[in-house]
Chain A
Amino acid sequence: MRVLHLCVNGDRLEVAAPPHWTLLEVLRYKLGLTGSKQGCDKGDCGACTVLVDGKPVLACLTLAALSEGREITTIEGLMPAHRQAGGEGADPVQEAFDRCGALQCGFCQPGMMLSARALLNDNPTPSPAEIKHALSGNLCRCTGYTQIVQAVELCVAESTSKKPRSPAWAPGVNPWSRAEPASGGQD
């Protein structure tokens, strides 16, 4: 057992963990931050994606002991960071995923949203191809990715005050345009 000095979501923490524990295990089982998912646990699926110094990495393959002195951001830290920066509500990426229905089971979502957040921090106006490339290390077994890419496109459109592209399934009505809210409920 050793005492690790970690910086998680802006909090400086001391946490005791054995040297063979991964960052994911420390986050989930020592710090209770279960937003980072334990999927394949061997580097295939991307469900455990967290940001280390602002870049998406896989927490299931990162040894916790080697994460000391790095800034770690999990999905739990996205909204507080957004609000601390003067924003309202959740992070725009989280809002967009919600509005676009970019989930079914939700298991891949924390990793997806962190990959998307890191992309938008680096490149505020990515093309659809760049979005797909940035999210290519995050597997989703439910949605078919369409709404996920659309959610990031929506984020880009709103941050640049452009009208978001209307999805093919809603011709004539843009359900994601805040100026023209969709009539009727969308389940």
Chain B
Amino acid sequence: MLRLPKFEMAEPDTLDEAVSLLAKHGDRAMPIAGGTDLVPNMKHELFTPELVVSLAGIAELHGIEQAGDGSLILGAMTPLDELARDERVLRGAPALAQAASLVAGPQLRRMGTLGGNVMLDTRCQWYNQTHFWRQSLGYCLKKDGTECHVVAGGRKCVAAASNDSAPALMSLGATLSFQGPDGTREVPIDDLWKSDGIYNKKVSGEILTHARIPAPGPGHRGAYGKLRDRGSIDFPLLGVAVRLDLGSDDVVTDADLVVVALQARPVRVRKVAETFRGLEIQGPAFREALDEVCTLASKQCRPLANIPGDHEYRHAMVPVYTRRTFLAACEQGGPVHHV
């Protein structure tokens, strides 16, 4: 039995009210969306806020809209299973719909939200444990301790970003909107992250209100691949989001590959667009370029022993999942997962 530490609840109806509550209470307050990350973390005493501010009653955070220019505006409180089924998301952002469809299990997708998944805490096998377990070990660098159990002598936390939505949104060039005491601001998702496992975001004290995904071109292809032990429930051992933009005659005009669950932030593999650009996806040159991209991904991704699962196996799966996910995107298929 895991009891929650004591806290008080606030259930504001408006965003302004929620922002001012969080500003007033500072580090002693935390927002709760679906609760599927925060509640177990509070049970493990990783977070012990005095005030929990529910975002559930704030109407403007809910729902999916398509703007006149074709861009998708996704409310931060949109449940993941709604995101996975929505026709507009399936059509305009298939990698995101697929990523959302593979988060955890059905109950958790129904409860968990897009905003909660983007703002997910980083994970590590030495951190996501009960207080008793962590205390027995002398705690760790991320919480209450000074020693990193992943990198001997390490002074920097290497807990992994494990949010499936994050690489998908990065591959789609999403912009995030936050509201804080100083008003609203927009942050390109690439600028959200920093390589710090303790807190891997550059934004704090503000509420993520929605994500905007620019309108895809007519030749947009995207897919998501997820490696995990079971076909349900588990966090990713590796997540791969890909995008291919095709021009006339299925020639690649742009491409992207973003990988998650390896280190503290989602990682974009470099030189992918240059390698694919100008190649027709059915041609032999594309297959050769895909081999090259798999090698690039393997070289640029270095999994650590930060989450459960053998890190050498996870590294070996980087080119495998890169290849399968790009091929799925070519065929407008996916998601890619082995169980």
A residues with a Cβ closer than 8 A to B are 18-22, 38, 41-44, 46, 49, 55-58, 60-63, 65-66, 115, 133-134, 136-139
Give the complex CA separation of A65 and B320 in angstroms.
Answer: 45
Shortest Cβ distance from residue A71 to the other chain B in the assembled complex, whole angstroms: 15
Task: Tell me the total A-B contact number using a CB cutoff of 8 A.
Answer: 82
Which residue of chain B lies nearest to A19 when distances are taken between CB atoms in the complex?
B9
If A18-B6, A38-B1, A63-B32 touch, whether A57 touches B111 (CB-CB below 8 Å) is yes
A-B contact pairs, 13 of them (CB 8 A): A19-B7, A20-B4, A20-B7, A22-B4, A43-B108, A55-B110, A60-B39, A65-B9, A66-B54, A136-B105, A137-B106, A137-B107, A137-B232
Give the complex CA separation of A44 and B232 in angstroms.
Answer: 10
Chain B residues with Cβ below 8 Å from A62 are: 35, 111
In the complex, whether B233 has a CB less than 8 A from a CB of chain A is yes
Chain A residues with Cβ below 8 Å from B105 are: 46, 136-138
Shortest Cβ distance from residue B227 to the other chain A in the assembled complex, whole angstroms: 17
**B1-16 vs A, Cβ < 8 Å mask (1 yes, 0 no):** 1101111110100000
Chain B residues with Cβ below 8 Å from A44 are: 233
Of B32, B39, B107, chain A has the most CB atoms within 10 Å of the CB of B107
- Contact (Cβ within 8 A) B110 A42: no
B residues with a Cβ closer than 8 A to A are 1-2, 4-9, 11, 32, 35-36, 39-40, 43-44, 52, 54, 56, 104-108, 110-111, 231-233
Chain A residues with Cβ below 8 Å from B232 are: 136-137
Give the complex CA separation of A115 and B11 in angstroms.
Answer: 29
- Contact (Cβ within 8 A) A63 B9: yes
Chain A residues with Cβ below 8 Å from B5 are: 20
- Contact (Cβ within 8 A) A58 B231: no
Give the complex CA separation of A103 and B150 in angstroms.
Answer: 40
Chain A residues with Cβ below 8 Å from B43 are: 41-42
Chain A residues with Cβ below 8 Å from B107 are: 46, 49, 56-58, 115, 137
- Contact (Cβ within 8 A) A137 B4: no
Which residue of chain B lies nearest to A134 when distances are taken between CB atoms in the complex?
B106
Other-chain contact of B111, A38, A61, A136, A138 (Cβ < 8 Å) = A61
Shortest Cβ distance from residue A48 to the other chain B in the assembled complex, whole angstroms: 9
- Contact (Cβ within 8 A) A43 B40: yes
Give the complex CA separation of A18 and B4 in angstroms.
Answer: 11
Chain B residues with Cβ below 8 Å from A18 are: 6
Chain B residues with Cβ below 8 Å from A61 are: 35-36, 39-40, 108, 111
- Contact (Cβ within 8 A) A58 B108: yes
- Contact (Cβ within 8 A) A42 B2: yes
Other-chain contact of A43, B6, B11, B36, B106 (Cβ < 8 Å) = B36
If A41-B2, A42-B40, A137-B105 touch, whether A56 touches B9 (CB-CB below 8 Å) is no
Give the complex CA separation of A136 and B206 in angstroms.
Answer: 35
